[in-house]
Amino acid sequence: MKALIQIENLYFRPESLDPNRPDILRGISLTIDEGEFIAIVGKNGSGKTTLIKHINGLLFPTHGRVLVDGLDTRLPENRARLQSLVGMVFQNPADQIVASTVEEDVAFGLENLNLPTSEIRERVAQQLAAAGLTHEAARPPHLLSGGQVQKVALAGVLARHPCVILFDEPTSMLDPQTRQSFLRRLEQLHRDGLTIIYVTHHMEEIVNADKVVLLHNGLAAHMGSPEEIFGGRINLYEIGLEMPETVEIAENFRSLGWLSDRPFLAPQALIDALPDYYDLRNHKTSKVVSPLPRHPTDSFIQVDDVHYTYLSGSPLAKIALRGANFIAQQGSVSAVAGANGSGKSTLLQHINGILRPDSGRVRVGKWAVEDPRTPVRDVIREVGLVFQNPEAQFFEVFVGDEIAYGPKQLNMDRLRERVRQAMEMVGLEFEAFKDRRLETLSGGEKRKVALASTLVLDQQVLLFDEPTAGMDPQARKELIGLFRALRDQGKTIIIASHRMEELASIAENLSLMHAGTVIQSGPSAQVFNDSAAIQRAGLLPPLSVQISCSLIEKGWPIQGKDTSTADRLFSVIKDMV
């Protein structure tokens, strides 16, 4: 294999950086061979994006050098050649689309090569067909789903026939099935010989990589095959990461003496290695306990047959809800799961009155939210909503002002005290942060400010829309902890998300949404086991449920048991052997 990319002792420090802060990259050396699949992981702010931007010359080293196919990225005469060798897919699908129709965006990179129109047309048609987007060719990108936009972005890069593609957290906005098909496409590209450099927060996406690079504080802390990295010798938690869930579940089973010592990284390998129940029949069997059906006593939140159409009456009208029903009890934690575009966000925005239904009823406590005479502000006092990517919606300059906006609008007293409490709740020190400018904060800190600016209103009901999108494992864990604390304070919590593993760890009730309606709903232990409904909603059951399904096929009598998290699965199995 030929070394395609050589990174030699790379240091990077932007000129605008505060002199007290260390360099962003501090001496990284790395050689990447042609056709390799390299995964780069590390917590937020560890320098992942900065590193890959050096490979296509968007950034230049402060010290050291980067060679791609022998070309020094710093030399201007290499630029055009470098751009055609290396393509890049960015994190936020929408921000990388340049043109106003799909086909034209795919063509953009080819127009830049000054190719004849006939060849551009041919390559665009080819890429659209490969991405399954031929029917969307003439549509404007802002009306596509996130998954489709990410496909457009990839098609636009592939059309230029690059040798290397850089991916910067490309799946962070995608729902499970879309994400899976994206990963399959990625594997295909890798098999076809493309060199892939892949940045992610999700360890399970990179178990097939040739090499994993762990970045920590601008240094390549570890480098090795996935087996070496996830083999247990490296403390990933210490540097803000986690093991792939398969490894954790395998670890549990190993303690039962089931598995050999080799690491299990891919779910299928683990499933294949699990024993049939037949082999263990001499062990004791346990009684099957079906979970008690719970009857709703007091539905604090009640959504009945709600219909809603965006831009109704215009050529762009889009039906978002088609008779959605939803209930939640006071003090409960409910989850709304569904693929992108299934109507989760629209449903949440009906519960706090931001949107009023075209038809149907919405009750929150004593408020009839669907009634236009109910002032939105009265509903807001009871119901808080944290939007998706809330840090994109800041409108003040200073942290303190941003958080104080809500209480000021609602004329609340003890303003300073409230802001202080809210900041402490999310783990931001009041004195240190209140006068910081918002744009100087890191991504993680911004997210905390956004949470605080809703929590400061101390509402009874809290709605969260895709709260963990783009977060690293440690931040996700902290957020789940915050949800628990809020639940213990007696708040009613509703979380909309497509990350089933996270929902499983916190939600008591689960509703599945598909195409604007709730297709299944109930206690989460039951709904998580309903694989058919989960599939229909465009989602995937949590890994532990997938494994328990395989165990059932192998004869294990664990039907109907709550196996929605790794720990629950393990305790169910442990009881039986």
Partner 1 sequence: MSSRFEFLGSTAIGQYIPRQSWIHRRDPRARLLAYLAIFIGVVFTPDFIGLGVGFVCVLIFYLMAQIPLKPSVKGILRALPFLLILALLQILLGGRIDTDLVIGNILGFGVTQRSVFNALMLLTRFTVLIVLINGFVMTISTSQITAALFYLLKPAEVVRFPVNDLLMVVQITMRFLPLIAQTAEKIAKAQAARGGDWDQRGFNPIGQAKRVLPLIVPLIINSLKRAETMALAMESRGFNAGVKRSSYYALQFSWKDGAFLLLTTGVSALMIFSKIIN
- Residue of 18, 316, 15 lying closest to 139 (CA atoms): 316
Amino acid at 430: F
Q: Are 41 and 214 in contact (CB under 8 A)?
A: yes
Pairing of strands 164-168, 86-89: parallel
- What tokens were used for 5? 């990319």
Contact call for residue 129 and partner 1 (CB under 8 A): no
Given 56, 200, 509, 517, the residue binding partner 1 (CB under 8 A): 56
Given 25, 68, 120, 301, the residue binding partner 1 (CB under 8 A): 120
**Residues 488 to 507 in contact with partner 1, rule: CB under 8 A:** none
Beta bridge partners of 497: 337
- Nearer Cβ to partner 1 (44/83): 83
Give the Å distances, CA to CA, from 289 to 499, 559, 561, 575.
Answer: 27, 10, 7, 12
Q: Are 482 and 424 in contact (CB under 8 A)?
A: no
Given 13, 64, 67, 113, the residue binding partner 1 (CB under 8 A): 113
25: DSSP letter: E
Contact call for residue 425 and partner 1 (CB under 8 A): no
Contact call for residue 454 and partner 1 (CB under 8 A): yes
| Closest approach of partner 1 to the CB of residue 360, in Å | 12
Contact call for residue 385 and partner 1 (CB under 8 A): yes
Stretch that binds partner 1, among 91-99, 182-190, 322-330, 514-522 (CB under 8 A): 91-99
- Nearer Cβ to partner 1 (53/322): 53
Q: Find the distance separating the first CA and the last CA of the chain, reported in whole Å.
A: 49
- Nearer Cβ to partner 1 (104/501): 104
Question: Which contiguous run of DSSP H or E holds residue 269?
Answer: helix 267-273
- Nearer Cβ to partner 1 (97/131): 97
- Nearer Cβ to partner 1 (288/316): 316
Amino acid at 539: L
Stretch that binds partner 1, among 128-136, 419-427, 453-461, 532-540 (CB under 8 A): 453-461
Given 33, 34, 58, 474, the residue binding partner 1 (CB under 8 A): 58
How many angstroms separate the CA atoms of 143 and 162, rounded? Answer: 28
| Closest approach of partner 1 to the CB of residue 58, in Å | 6
Pairing of strands 3-12, 25-33: antiparallel
Pairing of strands 383-386, 461-465: parallel
| Closest approach of partner 1 to the CB of residue 165, in Å | 10
Please provide residue 532's backbone torsions phi and psi, each rounded to the nearest 5 degrees: -60, -50
Task: For tokens 């989850």, name the residue.
Answer: 335
How many angstroms separate the CA atoms of 103 and 99, rounded? Answer: 9
- Nearer Cβ to partner 1 (106/539): 106
**Residues 154 to 193 in contact with partner 1, rule: CB under 8 A:** 156-157, 160
**Residues 60 to 79 in contact with partner 1, rule: CB under 8 A:** 79
- Residue of 229, 240, 300, 252 lying closest to 493 (CA atoms): 300
Kindly provide the residue ranges of all beta strands, DSSP E only, lying in 231-312, ordered along the sequence. Answer: 299-310
Question: Which contiguous run of DSSP H or E holds residue 153?
Answer: helix 146-158
Given 44, 92, 200, 505, the residue binding partner 1 (CB under 8 A): 92
**Residues 281 to 340 in contact with partner 1, rule: CB under 8 A:** 310-316
How many angstroms separate the CA atoms of 383 and 493, rounded? Answer: 10
**Residues 343 to 382 in contact with partner 1, rule: CB under 8 A:** 349, 352, 354-356, 358, 372, 375-377, 380-381
215 by Cβ neighbours in 10 Å (0-12 / 13-18 / 19+) ranks as buried
533 by Cβ neighbours in 10 Å (0-12 / 13-18 / 19+) ranks as middle
Given 71, 99, 189, 319, the residue binding partner 1 (CB under 8 A): 99
Q: What number of chain residues touch partner 1 (CB under 8 A)?
A: 80
- Residue of 329, 325, 327 lying closest to 304 (CA atoms): 325
| Closest approach of partner 1 to the CB of residue 413, in Å | 14
| Closest approach of partner 1 to the CB of residue 395, in Å | 4
Stretch that binds partner 1, among 12-20, 128-136, 152-160, 180-188 (CB under 8 A): 152-160
Contact call for residue 15 and partner 1 (CB under 8 A): no
Stretch that binds partner 1, among 87-95, 479-487, 554-562, 567-575 (CB under 8 A): 87-95
Given 14, 75, 142, 485, the residue binding partner 1 (CB under 8 A): 142
Given 36, 103, 242, 502, the residue binding partner 1 (CB under 8 A): 103
